[in-house]
Structure 1
């Protein structure tokens, strides 16, 4: 892959999702079966591959050497101008920096956790062209956390949401639903919802970022996941409309499949207040 195929994402917006795995080939086979992904080599070495849908990059898979620590979770990354400055902001506000900043290819990455333990990353530099929530984008991000408003303050302060800069993100809070909607222009790029339980033994309930992948048929994805060695919850209404299922791949990484629908319910001006 050549640098010309990369872009400079807008700071503060989601710019990528990635999964680390012990067995790259087996993990690729699972996601090909369940989501119909095709894979090609990435630019970060032989242990990294890029998942594509109809030629569009969707996500990254990275193989981790035996013995090294590994987060068994899909991790969203947000674009930043300076990884060092963002890492310092996160620490000052009670977040944790687990890895980085570390240089990879055309940029530098950091893996972190917010005050409630939800894991996320941020990236300084150019990325593959990727979008969340825009148009027919294949992915959408949702944070389910203890207090959506408190989490929104944390992320807004480290990512400069509502900075007023052209193209920057804006977060609005719906009081009745305890929901924060993060938009860039007219596009919803992430949703933060309250109600997470930090001490719950169920990882679906603990504060965490949920990566949603769009599918044509949730039922078919459930059947395919179970046949390929994963698990899946029954079809359920999605908080933003439509239907969804939470799937665990054979390695234990959770993700959500959802049908295309309105991602966030309509909110009136009276319901919203900028964070």
Structure 2
């Protein structure tokens, strides 16, 4: 039995603006095992990617939604879900990360269809940067579905918004740039008018628990939350945390290789604040 059918998730147009979240990748050790797990839990199918034998593209029907890359061991990076942000120049963006006390772990690296960077912000949350080689070469954003939402759990939302704003030109006034809005202790990031990410305060850098340390949380909206959680447990995953939030519930799961991801029945990221 598969998990809930994500083809019923809310619709969304593709993002094209600079510095918008443009893709999510799973860094894993075993491509085949990851594909089997997410096919059963999220109903995805997979096709070979253009980046080599260790890369595949997850799809909901015919819609590309995520990448799965078996390079965790080769690049000595953690098994994890990671968001990517579109940039015009990977070298410039990587230099900005370093100048602001962030870390560049890999890249800029030319990979077939563009140039990528694996980095972390100054509080240790990992993320990627992607410079597309040409207009049609970046990882395709889904045309018909909201594929994933992002939440940065960090030490201080205001400081993090400044870091990412300076690296990615958020709120710069440039055409198509993402804007930020401060709501109490949270920051909402809107790209092309749509809320795509939240930044929340309260994470602890030295915490043993990875859920408490600063990290980017990748959230997948699903139609049947209970069925998805059950399917994850049946296929070797584990429930890590369940939270009641405005508009519904978020459940953080661990896949068999240790990567954390969140499934939610919340219909919009703006309605996903804690209650």
Compute the TM-score of the two structures, normalised by the length of structure 2: 0.88
Question: Does 1:214 pair with 2:225?
Answer: no
CA contact (8 A) 2:225 2:263 kept: yes
1:26 Cα deviation (Å)? Answer: 0.8
Structure 1 residues 113-124: aligned runs within 5 Å: 113-124=120-131
Q: What corresponds to 2:268 in structure 1?
A: 262
CA contact (8 A) 2:31 2:69 kept: yes
| SS in structure 1 at match of 2:223 | coil
Task: Provide closer, same or farther for how the CA distance between residues 67 and 234 of structure 1 changes in structure 2, counting only shifts above 3 A.
Answer: closer
CA distance in 1, matches of 2:84, 2:237: 25
Q: What corresponds to 1:157 in structure 2?
A: 166
CA contact (8 A) 2:72 2:79 kept: no
User: Of 151, 156, 159, which aligns to 1:147?
Assistant: 156
Dislocated runs of 4+, deviation >4 Å: 65-68
| SS in structure 2 at match of 1:264 | helix
Q: Which has the higher contact order (CA 8 A, sep 6+)?
A: 2
- Count, aligned residues: 256
Compute the TM-score of the two structures, normalised by the length of structure 1: 0.88
| Deviation by residue 1:52-108 (Cα, 9 ceiling, x = unmatched) | 002111110112385651321101000000011111111111100000000011110
Which residues of structure 2 form unaligned runs of 5+?
Answer: 1-13
Task: Provide closer, same or farther for how the CA distance between residues 114 and 69 of structure 1 changes in structure 2, counting only shifts above 3 A.
Answer: same
Which residues of structure 1 form unaligned runs of 5+?
Answer: 1-6, 268-275
Q: What corresponds to 1:271 in structure 2?
A: none
1:186 Cα deviation (Å)? Answer: 2.3
Question: Does 1:172 pair with 2:189?
Answer: no
| SS in structure 1 at match of 2:270 | coil
Question: Does 1:253 pair with 2:259?
Answer: yes
CA distance in 2, matches of 1:171, 1:70: 29
User: Of 108, 123, 130, which aligns to 2:141?
Assistant: 130
CA contact (8 A) 1:216 1:259 kept: yes
| SS in structure 1 at match of 2:118 | strand
Question: Does 1:29 pair with 2:43?
Answer: no
